[in-house]
Copies of this chain bind each other. A is one copy, B any other.
Amino acid sequence: MLRMSTLFLRTLREDPADAEVPSHRLLVRGGYIRRAAPGGFTWLPLGWIVYRKVEAIVREEMDRAGFQEVHFPAMLPREPYEATGRWTEYGPNLFRLKDRRDNDMLLAPTHEEMFTLLVKDLYSSYKDLPLSIYQIQTKYRDEARPRAGLLRGREFVMKDSYSFDIDADGLQASYDRHRDAYIATFDRLGIDYEIVSAMSGAMGGSASEEFLAPIEVGEDTFVRCTAGDYAANTEAVEVAAPEAQPTDGLPDAVVADTPDTPTIATLVDLLNGRDDLRREDRDWTAADTLKNVVMMLEHPDGTREPLAVGVPGDRDVDLKRVEAQLAPAVPSPFTEADFAAHPSLVKGYIGPEVLGEESASGIRFLVDPRIVDGTRWVTGANEPGRHVVGLVAGRDFTADGTIEAAEVHEGDPCPRCGSPMEIARGVEIGHIFQLGTKYAEALDLTVLDENGKTRTVTMGSYGIGVSRAVAVLAEANHDDDGLVWPRAVAPADVHVVVAGKKNGPQGPAAETLATELEAAGLEVLLDDRVGVSPGVKFNDAELLGVPTILVVGRGLDSGVVEVKDRRTGEREDVALDVVVDRLVEVCAAG
């Protein structure tokens, strides 16, 4: 039994100054966690109980799926991460250190390399596969902006699994098993989620999906089709590209003076108002303009490469999308100095003529997938104050490739069904990757197949943010008064509040009830503090968020106690002699 009189706990009336989001605020105020370092939190006793319940559910579901648990060190040598390139690719996000012998070590952000080497160490035959192994382990990432408490820390607990298969079909099967196990896990935890297509980022590999908890304070933005056909992280959204059209018979492009057109709207107005520039079939719109944005890519080895991205002018370039597509390279805006170094680029009037690897500038030129052959564009004429009108893709210019770089807008058509899509925010609670052979190749993980031939193993990697899940649960389950834990992870089933005078009958009665509740299999938090007013106790009970509150108060004289549902606020008076049965019933109902 947990007793408030001895529990290592102090609730706070005031919000902590550094807490930006409700979960952080309430977990600190409720004495669940305390900040110990930038992006590092200490679990206090109640928080640790909740954490361990979450961890236990994750573990049970992994075990149930037949995955086997192992446990790696967090501090690892450089070499395996050097072999896959991630020692460099992770950039400043990786915590690096040296040991007393000057060896380079790292604090692992994820363990693909080590799992690959372990399987290489133990296994050698196709008969050993498939294999899925996992760990629940502390991870380190030197986030630029640790924030929101447990939602984005620098030291956190992940469940990371890895699958090993002989071929792509096997990988697909392992991936599906993990996907199912994740669904089971999050359902049991009572976490709402959306499964969205995602980018693989620094992980490499071919396909990946994220489990996003739709939470307003989330850092991830995703879109979902209002008809339910599609959901994707904004970074991974695929544009519904039109079909290419023949370029024959389209009018020639015209270069025109376009004075006083500081914005795309004024440019479009000017064009539609001039007979010589007006489009014959319909008015020009902002979506017909081609905006060419130059940026600088920094590669992990430190080299810098200019890149031009062309998008329809009704949208900006989304640098996060560019970054996701081109990882591990990192894009940044072109500076004045960069422009000075590329005199062929006329700022504000850059047209395709000066772009592309074959062009005068030699700058790689990637365009939005909507820019297909036969589409007609208004774009810069590479001279100040002039635009070219009716430039035809595939006839007048050809890009070096396409890129999903344009901003996604609410209402954009679903690439599957064309229905409008909506934009929402979420927190990543799980991520599943089909890695393919990237790590196995880099570290030479092969097995012999049934014909005695050497085959490179195909891998998947799968993560759940275990400590983050606690914050997500808090974020999704609170009201103005405090936390409202789902029963599966609550620090107790019943919070028993003694609300009577000192030395009154309420104290002993509550002790008896608490003992009976425990004997009936319920977990009890007993507020047995003496010299603390009922009001303070009630406030603490609301703040702590145990799902059922049992008040032993004045009603005791007439043989009743009060049962309150923390979530709904519903109260009922229950006779003392049936309250244990009633509470067993309430708790079993969830």
Interface residues of A (CB under 8 A from B): 6-10, 31, 34, 36-38, 40-45, 48, 51, 66, 68-77, 92-93, 95-97, 99-100, 103, 105, 107, 114, 118, 121-123, 131, 133, 138, 140, 142, 144, 154-155
- CA separation between A107 and B42, bound complex, in Å? 15
Closest to A31 in B: B122
Add 4 more A-B contacts to A38-B99, A42-B70, A97-B107 (CB < 8 A): A31-B122, A34-B122, A75-B107, A75-B155
Min CB–CB distance A526 → chain B (angstroms): 15
Closest to A153 in B: B73
- CA separation between A96 and B75, bound complex, in Å? 12
Min CB–CB distance A80 → chain B (angstroms): 9
B-chain residues with CB within 8 Å of residue A76 when the two chains form the complex: 36-37, 40
Min CB–CB distance A82 → chain B (angstroms): 14
Tell me if B37 and A121 are in contact (CB < 8 A). Answer: no
Tell me if B99 and A71 are in contact (CB < 8 A). Answer: no
Min CB–CB distance A401 → chain B (angstroms): 33
Tell me if A45 and B68 are in contact (CB < 8 A). Answer: yes
Tell me if B96 and A97 are in contact (CB < 8 A). Answer: yes
Task: Identify A71's interface contact among B43, B71, B123, CB under 8 A.
Answer: B43
- CA separation between A118 and B6, bound complex, in Å? 16
- CA separation between A41 and B71, bound complex, in Å? 9
B-chain residues with CB within 8 Å of residue A131 when the two chains form the complex: 8
Closest to A72 in B: B42
B-chain residues with CB within 8 Å of residue A123 when the two chains form the complex: 10
- CA separation between A123 and B9, bound complex, in Å? 9
Tell me if A74 and B73 are in contact (CB < 8 A). Answer: no
Question: Would you give 11 A-B contacts (Cβ < 8 Å), ordered by A?
Answer: A8-B68, A8-B133, A10-B122, A36-B72, A36-B76, A37-B77, A40-B73, A40-B75, A42-B118, A48-B70, A74-B138
Tell me if A71 and B92 are in contact (CB < 8 A). Answer: no
B-chain residues with CB within 8 Å of residue A118 when the two chains form the complex: 34, 36, 42
- CA separation between A472 and B575, bound complex, in Å? 55
Tell me if B95 and A70 are in contact (CB < 8 A). Answer: no
B-chain residues with CB within 8 Å of residue A97 when the two chains form the complex: 95-97, 107
- CA separation between A262 and B66, bound complex, in Å? 72
Tell me if B74 and A45 are in contact (CB < 8 A). Answer: no
- CA separation between A131 and B6, bound complex, in Å? 8
- CA separation between A51 and B71, bound complex, in Å? 10
* Most chain B CB atoms below 10 A, which of A92, A97, A133: A97
- CA separation between A48 and B8, bound complex, in Å? 30
Tell me if A74 and B71 are in contact (CB < 8 A). Answer: no
Tell me if B155 and A73 are in contact (CB < 8 A). Answer: yes
- CA separation between A94 and B75, bound complex, in Å? 13
Tell me if A68 and B154 are in contact (CB < 8 A). Answer: no
- CA separation between A36 and B93, bound complex, in Å? 22
Tell me if A121 and B34 are in contact (CB < 8 A). Answer: yes
Min CB–CB distance A443 → chain B (angstroms): 14
- CA separation between A189 and B574, bound complex, in Å? 46
Nearest first, the 10 closest Cβ-Cβ pairs linking A and B are A40-B73, A97-B97, A43-B71, A92-B100, A45-B68, A10-B122, A73-B155, A42-B72, A8-B68, A100-B142
- CA separation between A100 and B94, bound complex, in Å? 9
* Most chain B CB atoms below 10 A, which of A41, A42, A48, A133: A42
Tell me if A42 and B8 are in contact (CB < 8 A). Answer: no
* Given contacts A92-B100, A95-B97, A41 and B73 within 8 Å (CB-CB): yes
B-chain residues with CB within 8 Å of residue A96 when the two chains form the complex: 97
* Most chain B CB atoms below 10 A, which of A9, A68, A133, A140: A68
